[in-house]
A = this chain, B = another copy of it.
Amino acid sequence: MTRSAERRGRDSRRRPTINDVARLSQVSKSTVSNVLRDSAGVSPATRERVLGAIDILGYRPNAAARQLVARRAQTIGVVSGDLANSFNAELLKGIEAAASPHGYMALVCNTEGHPDREAARIDALLKQGVDGIALLEFSGDRRVVSELLTRRVPTVMLACASDYADSVAVDDQAGIEMGIEHLIALGHRKIAYVDDALVEPGTREARLRGFDMTMLRHGLPATPDLVVTWDEDALAAVDRALAELFTRTDRPTAVMTADDAIAIRLMEACEAKGLGVPDDISVVGFDGIAIAGLSRISLTTIVQPQQEITSWGIEMLVERIEGDHGGAPQQHFLRPKLAVRDSTAPPPAADRPRSA
């Protein structure tokens, strides 16, 4: 008795392999393989026999062995800063839906926004042998970039962008501009910006720049003292900054924000301090997450076409994986939409510009 046969005898719970099927159905494993991948050229009779054996044994092909030969894992990694954040969760859902028909599954990881964790997680994804990576968040860490680039790992950035990789995102500056111009149209002149440290770094910067530029273009003050950065780790400081901002004699009458999550927190904070939204202050969000549309929240916001972002993005990624890999990274920018709801209104009478 050979060693392997011996082991087989002892351990009958062992997963059956293609060899077991071959033996039982009295054919070679190539034939079994042919049946499995129903490649032409197997006689109906053998075919039946093999199928029968497969059924009897409860055989399932081993994924690792296939992947080893195919040199493809049929998985893509998804890197997110915070999976519990609605926008990311919605994107993930879209990614799953887009990847699935192509035969890819999504391996998720959460970075908490820390570059170190991000690098570690991406490394873990690479170790897992993912075929490609979708970044919802990217710190731009050099180690990671060079790793991804030198290994030519197909990568796509969704709802964010950088030169390193393909991307599908919204035109952030245009979005911010839409929000601000909506506020201006309502009569606001003193407009602040509340930044969110948890927004994807590149996106965050683009939005902030959008704020500065739009304000400038409209001849409005966009001084740094109108900008507050919301940071999970320094809530007390944020509180102070906000209190300072809203008690100034020339206090802003409206706020543009970096994302819906922070906009909603801001509304909470304002109301906790007795500032009504939109009566005392108007707030505009960014992203268009589902809860922003609840009547209790009713946040005016810049809506990202997330369905388009994910389906187009995954399409590109799959193409990179299965195509010839060549060509420079492509950046695609979609136009966001303004959804006007109840968090914005004309400024209080005292602050209204004298009309002509």
Contact = CB atoms under 8 A, between A and B. Distances in A.
B96 A124 contact: no
**Which of A62, A127, A267, A272 has most B Cβ within 10 Å?**
A127
A198 to B, nearest CB: 14
Interface string A99-110: 010000111111
A125 interface: yes
Contact of A92 (B108, B125, B129): B108
A181 interface: no
Query: How many copies make up the complex?
Result: 2
B109 A107 contact: no
For this complex, into which size category does the number of interface residues on chain A fall?
A: 35 or more
A267 to B, nearest CB: 7
A205 interface: no
Given A60-B126, A68-B65, A96-B108, A297 B296 contact: yes
Contact of A74 (B128, B267, B271, B272): B128
A301 to B, nearest CB: 15
Interface in A211-258: none
A279 interface: no
A42 interface: no
A129 B64 contact: yes
Contacts of A90: 84
A86 B89 contact: yes
Contacts of A86: 84, 86, 89
A83 interface: yes
Interface stretch (A187-195, A287-295, A348-356): A287-295
A310 to B, nearest CB: 12
11 contacts: A63-B67, A64-B67, A75-B128, A84-B93, A86-B89, A88-B89, A96-B110, A105-B108, A105-B124, A105-B128, A106-B109
